[in-house]
Chain A
Amino acid sequence: MCLAIPMQVVELKGGGDPLLDPQVALVESDGVRKEIRLEMADRIPAVGEYVIIHAGFAIRTLTVEDAEYNLSLMRRMAEVLESEGRLPGAVP
């Protein structure tokens, strides 16, 4: 129910006044840019970090390491599964 995609924060803007000038993040991916609200982010991102975006808001901030950790786990799992498959008579 929740279309949300990760994008990288390239700039933090505003923050001068919570009402008239709330802090927002400028995110970018492949040249596409958008201003994103930060009211519900679990923590304010630093430039270079990633945010998961839903309906114009960041719902989660993550470091590149966070993302890559998940990926490396999957990669490792894939490698293990592949090597297991090659063993004759391997028990699934």
Chain B
Amino acid sequence: MKCADEFRSREITAPLVEEIANSLRRPVRIMEVCGTHTMSIFRHGIRSLLPEGITLLSGPGCPVCVTPASHIDAFLAAADLPQVTIATFGDLIRVPGAERSLAGARASGARVEIVYSPMDALTLAQLEPERTVLFPAIGFETTAPTIAATILAAERLGLTNFLIIAAGKTMPHALEALMADPELRVDGLLCPGHVSAIIGSEAYRPLADRHHLACAVAGFEPADILSGLLSLIRQINEGRPGVDNCYTRVVTAEGNSRAQHLISEVFAPADSEWRGLGTIPGSGLVLREQYRRFDGMEQLAIPVQPVRELKGCRCGEILKGRLLPPDCPLYGTACTPLQPIGPCMVSNEGTCAAYFRYSGRKTSTARQEPKPLSVS
């Protein structure tokens, strides 16, 4: 879209950067809870443009990163079954469970395919009726309706070889749990633009009211992010925290009701374990009774993996901004970008992974980099 280029032009972003610097009166701590925000901030070098005094915390908004090891192990248990093909988003391929990742399983002979859409997994099931195709259904409220629509299509088509493992999570309860923690001192929240397209900007109102928290719903282009940050600083300055929708072209106050209905038709809320954070009530999605025949855990008799504390993992505290990565005993030794343990390192842009990169590689010990899959 030609318009998108404009949202990246210096003409628009430079004045915003300047105004942010001019408006900042005291140090502020702002959390962004969307992996795509983290990526965009990094990609456009936004941190390098912000004044000292703005601390940008990266929250647990990367569904891949917060998928617990027990779920990954369930995906792996399915992958090990000879008749099963795992069709998954690319993001999940290298995330480790207790010991292995899907990439590791593929290397050992499991069939693991990367898909761009859950519908592609469905198509695969139609093309290979002798295989059972399993889709690890991770994601937040932006992705959940796509999976719901896929389940409904599978039902209408009468498919018996398509399954999911429901691992989706929802934002509001998780945000509440985070903000309710007195240890976490956050002045403002940069709200995820596309989740908000689904749930509506008003979803953050209770959060803003209860915790006196400035909220800004922002899109993902640099101009969007900078507008969001500026809005937060102004709200903080004026002592009037509320919910400002800075992404009006995509987000409405009530959200997308069609998408919301899709979610509630197929899924029900449930308690859910977040990697590094523990169990947050009501923050997960499970298949409703009438769609249980698509439940991979049941249909493939996959044992529920025990909730496992990642020994020594301090991600919870890092996510809350209480610890810096080097303070974690596992950082740089047991936990590295190539062999991550907790979500902060699993994501390319998680706090620890980003820190690892920015602080430079101090040692020159030969890194065993896995050979990239061939493009030549």
Q: Does a CB–CB distance below 8 Å link A and B in the complex?
A: yes
A residues apposed to B, CB below 8 Å: 1-8, 18-19, 22, 29, 37, 39-42, 50, 52, 54-57, 59-60, 62, 64, 66-71, 74-75, 77-79, 81-82, 85, 92
Q: How far is the CB of A8 from chain B (nearest CB, A)?
A: 7
- Complex contact A74–B7 (CB within 8 A): yes
> Which residues of chain A come closer than 8 Å to B36, judged between CB atoms?
1-3
- Complex contact B3–A1 (CB within 8 A): no
What interface size band does chain B fall in? Answer: 35 or more
Among listed B45-53, B189-197, B296-304, B329-337, interface-contacting one: B189-197
Known: A39-B262, A57-B119. 14 other contacts (CB 8 A): A1-B36, A1-B143, A2-B34, A4-B142, A40-B149, A42-B258, A56-B117, A59-B197, A59-B259, A69-B249, A75-B11, A81-B15, A85-B18, A85-B22
| Separation of A52 and B145 alpha carbons in the complex (Å) | 14
Instruction: Please pick, from B7, B62, B249, the residue contacting A66 in the complex, using a CB distance under 8 A.
Output: B249
> Which residues of chain B come closer than 8 Å to A5, judged between CB atoms?
1, 4
- Complex contact A56–B119 (CB within 8 A): yes
> Which residues of chain A come closer than 8 Å to B142, judged between CB atoms?
1-2, 4, 54, 59
| Separation of A1 and B168 alpha carbons in the complex (Å) | 12
> Which residues of chain A come closer than 8 Å to B152, judged between CB atoms?
39
Q: Tally A-B pairs: CB < 8 A.
A: 140
Task: Tell me if B83 counts as interface (CB < 8 A to partner A).
Answer: no
Q: List 17 A-B contacts (CB under 8 A).
A: A1-B61, A1-B143, A2-B34, A4-B142, A19-B156, A37-B117, A40-B145, A59-B145, A62-B249, A66-B248, A67-B249, A69-B248, A77-B16, A81-B15, A81-B18, A85-B15, A92-B23
- Complex contact B146–A55 (CB within 8 A): yes
Q: How far is the CB of B19 from chain A (nearest CB, A)?
A: 5
Instruction: Please pick, from A40, A56, A69, A92, the residue contacting B116 in the complex, using a CB distance under 8 A.
Output: A56
> Which residues of chain A come closer than 8 Å to B116, judged between CB atoms?
55-56
- Complex contact B146–A40 (CB within 8 A): yes
Task: Tell me if B54 counts as interface (CB < 8 A to partner A).
Answer: no
> Which residues of chain A come closer than 8 Å to B149, judged between CB atoms?
37, 39-40, 57
> Which residues of chain B come closer than 8 Å to A4, judged between CB atoms?
142, 194
> Which residues of chain A come closer than 8 Å to B257, judged between CB atoms?
42
> Which residues of chain B come closer than 8 Å to A42, judged between CB atoms?
256-259
> Which residues of chain A come closer than 8 Å to B223, judged between CB atoms?
74
- Complex contact B156–A1 (CB within 8 A): no
Instruction: Please pick, from A22, A40, A55, the residue contacting B262 in the complex, using a CB distance under 8 A.
Output: A40
| Separation of A64 and B1 alpha carbons in the complex (Å) | 10
Closest to B248 in A: A70
Instruction: Please pick, from B4, B35, B198, B248, the residue contacting A59 in the complex, using a CB distance under 8 A.
Output: B198
Q: How far is the CB of B113 from chain A (nearest CB, A)?
A: 15
Task: Tell me if B118 counts as interface (CB < 8 A to partner A).
Answer: yes
- Complex contact A1–B248 (CB within 8 A): no
Instruction: Please pick, from B3, B140, B143, the residue contacting A6 in the complex, using a CB distance under 8 A.
Output: B3
| Separation of A62 and B250 alpha carbons in the complex (Å) | 7
> Which residues of chain A come closer than 8 Å to B1, judged between CB atoms?
5-8, 29, 50, 67
Q: How far is the CB of A51 from chain B (nearest CB, A)?
A: 10
Q: How far is the CB of A20 from chain B (nearest CB, A)?
A: 9
| Separation of A56 and B35 alpha carbons in the complex (Å) | 19
| Given A37-B149, A55-B143, A2:B249 Cβ within 8 A | no
Closest to A91 in B: B22
Q: How far is the CB of B112 from chain A (nearest CB, A)?
A: 18
| Given A37-B119, A57-B117, A81:B16 Cβ within 8 A | yes
Contact mask for chain B residues 49-70; partner A; CB cutoff 8 A; 1 contact, 0 none: 0000000000001110000000
- Complex contact B118–A74 (CB within 8 A): no
- Complex contact B23–A52 (CB within 8 A): no
Task: Tell me if B12 counts as interface (CB < 8 A to partner A).
Answer: yes
> Which residues of chain B come closer than 8 Å to A78, judged between CB atoms?
11-12, 14-16
- Complex contact A74–B227 (CB within 8 A): yes
- Complex contact B3–A40 (CB within 8 A): no
| Separation of A68 and B258 alpha carbons in the complex (Å) | 25
| Separation of A42 and B157 alpha carbons in the complex (Å) | 24
